[in-house]
Amino acid sequence: MGIDVKDKLIKLIETLGYVEGDTIILQGTLGADDAYPASFFTFFNPETVELYADNVPYKAFWYIELNYYSNDPTSVNTIFETLKPLLKSNGFKVEGKGFDVPSDEPEWTGRGINIIYEDIY
């Protein structure tokens, strides 16, 4: 029921030239010995809340954490300015202006945003 919102998000980011499984990955899935790509996105869906009417689900709120890591600090600070209008025009709600996220590599910095998608069945 409903759509796969993670898939929708990945396809949107792919329009910016990033590749699923390579520069768009699930948070925490990069191997200990894998090198960081120069710039990449990670995502995580901590929760999806379904709402019911007469015991029938009629919509879901998808909460997704989207992070961007890069060894180019300028792009870290500007990437979401490019991405936010694209997300908004495709039905995603973006909360705030984002925040710094921790990186395993000292030369990479990261920035994250929380997004919500209201999936009406």
Pattern 66-95, binding to another protein, x per CB under 8 A?
-x-x-------------------------x
38 lies in the site for another protein, by CB under 8 A: no
103 lies in the site for another protein, by CB under 8 A: yes
Enter the tokens of residue 107: 């030369």
Q: How many CB atoms sit inside 10 A of residue 58's CB?
A: 13
End-to-end CA distance of the chain: 7
- Beta strand 56-70 with 92-101 is unpaired
114 lies in the site for another protein, by CB under 8 A: yes
What's the rounded Cα separation, in Å, for the pair 106 and 104? 7
- From 93, 99, 96, 90, select the one nearest 116 (Cα to Cα): 93
17 lies in the site for another protein, by CB under 8 A: no
121 lies in the site for another protein, by CB under 8 A: no
40 lies in the site for another protein, by CB under 8 A: yes
The footprint of another protein (CB under 8 A) covers: 25, 27-32, 34, 36, 40, 42, 44, 46-47, 49, 61, 63, 65, 67, 69, 95, 99, 101-104, 112, 114, 116
